[in-house]
Amino acid sequence: MLPSFIPYQVEDCYSVLNTMKAVYFLAAFVLLGLASKLASASDPSPLQDFCIAVNDAKNGVFINGKLCKDPKLATPEDFYFSGLNIPGNTSNQVGSMVTPVIVSGLNTFGISLVRIDFAPYVGLNPLHTHPRATEILVVVQGTLYVGFVTSNPDNRLFTKVLYPGDVFVFPLGLIHFQFNIGHTNAVAFAALSSQNPGVVTIANAVFGSDADINPDVLAKAFQLDKNIVNQLQSRFWSDNDNRN
């Protein structure tokens, strides 16, 4: 005959097992939630009406952990920019110029805006990526051939010829470009889903890095003769972003 305390031990085991299942489920749920948050990561939402950027910490105040200009001292000028009607200087190697909108009142809002000018027919915004932003571009003048390439293993190329009034989206982190195929100047405006989208120009990063990437690495990666790699690395790689 089994001792009378055995059933209680069995019940305790079931209780422990059920508790462990609940803990595992909760842990899995939390991890899924964190993964979902990471998958849809973007600039954090502000916790105040605005946080005007300041250059000197002495002139700022902390608002919800952010160093900002004292809101009581804010003026309309903090939210204003003038000059996007002025064409950018496209007299450079790539024949284009990116003019960013610098507005201190945009701080913490997770958005930015640029004007892009292209020289006739040869103007190119070269292959580049924005590691922290999706880009939406609208053409207001000229004709642009634009496109982006998807990630491995497909590496699909999506291209379109754009005319004034046309809009195209470049997904976050993907290599993309814009090229003026018309015989007149072209102008486009682009909004990006980050206050600091970042830009990695492929040719500059690969062949103009500081310090140089070992030529043997590049020769193998691009299946090129090492002398060609050395020649490419010796070139001066220009930047069409007038912030630099």
- Binding site: which residues? 125, 128, 130, 135, 176
Which residue positions form the known binding site for oxalate?
A: 125, 130, 135
Cα distance between residue 137 and residue 190, in whole Å: 4
The structure tokens listed for 239 are 């930047």
The closest alpha carbon to 171, from 146, 141, 207, 134, belongs to: 134
- Sort 24 into a burial class: Cβ within 10 Å, 0-12 / 13-18 / 19+: exposed
Contact 210, 56 (CB under 8 A): no
Contact 83, 41 (CB under 8 A): no
Contact 202, 149 (CB under 8 A): no
Cα distance between residue 228 and residue 138, in whole Å: 37
Which residue positions form the known binding site for Mn(2+)?
A: 128, 130, 135, 176
